Amino acid sequence: MNSDKKKKLSWSKIREDAYRMVSDKIVGVFINQCYDVISTIALILNLSAVIMSTFEELNGKYGDVFVLIETVTVAFFALDYLLRLISAKMMYPELSELAAVRKYVFSFMGIVDLLSFIPYYLPFVFPAGAAAFRLIRVIRILRLFRINEHFDSLNVITEVIVKKKQQLLSSVIIIMILMVASSLCMYSLEHEAQPEVFKNAFSGMWWSMSTVLTVGYGDIYPVTTMGQVFSIFIAYLGVGMVAIPTGIISAGFVEQYTRLKRMGDYGIEKDISLIKIELRKHDEWNGKLIRNLGLPEDSIIVGVTRNGKNVLPRGNTLLQAGDQILLAAQKSGEDTPVNLKEIILGKNNPWAGKKIKELDLSLDSFIVMIARRGRMIVPNGNLILAENDKVFIYNKITRGEDD
């Protein structure tokens, strides 16, 4: 019985360490920082080797080096995928073991991680498809989205595209309709004059694409007067069509960067205080998961500062010596106060009626508590905010503030 318990604890520890190492959501942990650096270097080396191998003179001299780099980096990608499979339960603690693995495997980044290494090994099993498998290697570049997770300035691009996806899709559909319609019209106008060029209704699609998208290669062009007049009309119309998605994305950036300011304009803001505790080596909490601390009902850990950086206090967060813990509890005389922000949602506040996971918060800020009609609510991603809610926001604490 003790042996089974030890094995279970050992497996749990392995998964815990794997999650801390590969997770994109953990910051301030040394092993995670090292792993991020190694992962980024491996990806850059892999892509560089693939690109340089296309130059015959370089491939002739250093071809063996390029093959070695690809072999080692692809093996690292495979190891990374295995570690993420092992720690899938830690990524999605609310799901069962199988459901967590399935959610990761079929997620966007899970598919990218799989396609980062599997095409390299498939030719050993299916030699006939080697050329197609080499083409799939390009998907590895999508691993750069993992770096994107750590930078607000880069992450905003993804957020804008996701939020404006319906408008962008609508503009693409409009452009496609215009291309098909212009191709059909040009066929009707030019078929008799150029039967070898405009052979059928869709033979003008290349001309339509290059004209509507304002590329204008000139390899296919109208020779009749009506065709030339129609081409001028389509070219002007194409300029306006291409400007639509550009305007949508530009408006999305403006909206993204001004939303927090609007929130302040419609809300009432004031300072509050929480309790700050520094965890020592021999403290009982050292080395424990937050969910295993047994905190009283009127207490909650709302923030953890580690090596000057924030660690989001989830249930599976492992506390370490030196951590500065922000505890929401009744303040006593020996406690050290820490300033947070309390925002009361006004009638026109853009947060009212939205789920917490839909809000635009920077990576250095997160909601720690909600006060609603006299009771405190622990926030989760699906909680919908309401008018008159008191939202407690924890921002990153600088060393100057600590002093």
- Measured in whole angstroms, how far is the alpha carbon of residue 227 from the centre of its chain? 47
Number of neighbours of residue 112 by Cβ within 10 angstroms: 19
Judge residue 52's burial from the number of C-beta atoms within 10 Å of its C-beta, 0-12 exposed, 13-18 middle, 19 or more buried: middle
Supply the mean pLDDT for the chain. Answer: 77
Q: Show the domains of the chain with their CATH numbers.
A: 2-150 (1.20.120.350), 166-258 (1.10.287.70), 266-402 (3.30.70.1450)
What's the mean pLDDT in 360-387?
75
What's the mean pLDDT in 234-256?
83
Whole-number pLDDT of residue 400 = 41
Candidate from 146-155, 173-182, 196-205, 382-391 with smallest mean pLDDT? 146-155
Whole-number pLDDT of residue 336 = 46
- According to DSSP, the β-strands at 309-311 and 375-377 are unpaired
Over pLDDT 90: what percentage of the chain?
A: 5
Judge residue 97's burial from the number of C-beta atoms within 10 Å of its C-beta, 0-12 exposed, 13-18 middle, 19 or more buried: exposed
Whole-number pLDDT of residue 128 = 65
Res. 180: pLDDT tops 80 = yes
Q: Is the CB of residue 273 less than 8 Å from the CB of residue 331? A: yes
- Measured in whole angstroms, how far is the alpha carbon of residue 23 from the centre of its chain? 12
* Beta carbons within 8 Å of 220's beta carbon, 6+ residues apart: 197, 204, 206, 207, 210
Whole-number pLDDT of residue 396 = 54
Q: Is the CB of residue 130 less than 8 Å from the CB of residue 117? A: no
What's the mean pLDDT in 258-266?
60
* Higher per-residue confidence, 347 vs 221: 221
Whole-number pLDDT of residue 10 = 73
Whole-number pLDDT of residue 73 = 92
Res. 56: pLDDT tops 70 = yes
Res. 35: pLDDT tops 60 = yes
Q: Tens digit of pLDDT for each residue in 135-167? A: 777 777 777 766 656 555 566 777 788 888 888
Whole-number pLDDT of residue 403 = 42
Most confident stretch, 168-182, 248-262, 311-325: 168-182
Q: Tens digit of pLDDT for each residue in 70-121? A: 999 999 999 999 999 988 888 787 788 888 889 989 988 888 888 888 888 8
Coil, helix or strand for 391?
strand
